[in-house]
Amino acid sequence: MRKTIVALIVGYILFGAAIGSYLFFLTDTTIPEQYRGTAADPATFMDERELTLSQDYATVRNLLFFLSTPYEWVLLFLLLIVGLSRKIKVWSEATTRFRSLQILVYFFWFSLLTSILSFPLKWYGYSASKKYGINVQPFSNWMKDYMIDYWINFLLTGLIVIVLYTLIQRSQKRWWFYAWLLSIPFTLFLTFIQPVVIAPLYNDFYPLKDKELEAKILALADEAGIPAEHVFEVNMSEKTNAMNAYVTGIAGNSRIVLWDTTIEKLSDDEVLFIMAHEMGHYVKKHILFGTVGYIFVTLVGLFLIHKMMNTIVTRWGHALHIKNMQEISSIPLFFLLLSLLSFIFLPINNTVSRMHELESDKYAIELTGDNTAAVMTFQKLSKTNLSEVNPPILVKIFRYTHPPMLDRLHFLESYGQPVIEDN
């Protein structure tokens, strides 16, 4: 066990050194020659200081991302191999004789312990965003959001774990399929209530204050065939200097939301382009496709976890202090495999997401006919959010749900423009 633990820690340190070397020394994020002087060249819309800050901040965020996920794997594996998971199981079983409550008690201590051990990385991410002027939240407010997030995740995930391990106990061979069937209405329910129940726990949402701008947006929505009655504004300026807008929800609970920072920093034409982009998500049914895709991936993921857990418990259950899958001490193994599979699926998920974003960009230009506003919008977003214009390939593959700004700005500048051929 000692050799395994030492090997695990040394392996994580070596991985950290390798990814750090890649991000700091081995990547070339300079702008290709063909983009120099175009709208995609950050030198045309950022000064030297902004260029340096955006690159430094991006490197910090990228390093934090690539260190955080393996760190989670290390924690979960250590809980198993040192026998701590089994001890928490014994404590929970001594607390109550009801299995559902045993699972909940176990999950409370499990989630509390992993949250405490993961907190330093969360805090470092907050500190970095604060240092670079993105986050303006006082630590107390950030902690308030952190605690809200913790308790929401505890309650929702705790319910899921109780259902999962009840199914595993009753049907070890088909639990994954029954769990998938139950996940469908649960996923739809969460998608439906998130805009009106969960999101307002973090921020204040209200109809757009600028009624003249709202009238323009609603006229654009009418042209797009969207039955919108309101555009929602969210008070984000007390938390961040960054800009954003998004569409969320399904059916009657779909919402188009603008951050107040976006309204303050962009012109009406630029806001209209952003809204047209968000309307593109609605018209192209990206939320629906995303939900259906998530449901399908859940089926595949649960099946793979079922197979992998069976194999691991059979071969190495003694070393991990797990007698069988039904034992609640196997919960860290479930989350470890879930995290691994989620990471493996990231490139596929991100590729699909980037395709949807590109579709929405096309739709927005066709709806507004305003390439200039499109380019100016994303140049301002790049400056304000300190976006990395040309990220390293691994960062793009594993982190980017949107096209990099280099690709996006080049596309927005050239889309629909006549092609001039050299004679």
Residues that are catalytic? 278
Nearest to 284 by CA among 230, 198, 355: 355
Residues 6+ apart with CB under 8 A from 160: 186
Half-sphere exposure of residue 154: CA atoms within 13 angstroms, side-chain side: 18
Q: How far is CA 6 from CA 10, 41, 197, 332, 348, in A?
A: 6, 46, 45, 20, 33
The residues pairing with 248 across neighbouring beta strands, listed in sequence order, are 255
Token couple for 391: 């990220």
Nearest to 265 by CA among 110, 419, 394, 385: 385
Q: Say how far apart CA 396 and CA 402 lie, in whole Å.
A: 9
Residues 6+ apart with CB under 8 A from 365: 371, 374, 412, 415, 416
3-state SS of the chain: helix, strand, coil percent to 5?
A: 75, 5, 20
> Measured in Å, how far apart are the chain's first and last C-alpha atoms?
72
Whether residue 148 contacts residue 202, with contact meaning beta carbons closer than 8 Å, is answered with yes
Q: DSSP assignment of 58-101, as one string? A: HHHHHHHHHHHHHHHHHHHHHHHHTSHHHHHHHHHHHH-S-HHH
Three-class DSSP category at 248 = strand
Residue 135 sits at φ, ψ, to 5 deg, of -90, 130
Token couple for 26: 């081995």
The residue whose two tokens read 């599979």 is 341
Query: In one letter, which amino acid is 212?
Result: E
Whether residue 195 contacts residue 249, with contact meaning beta carbons closer than 8 Å, is answered with yes
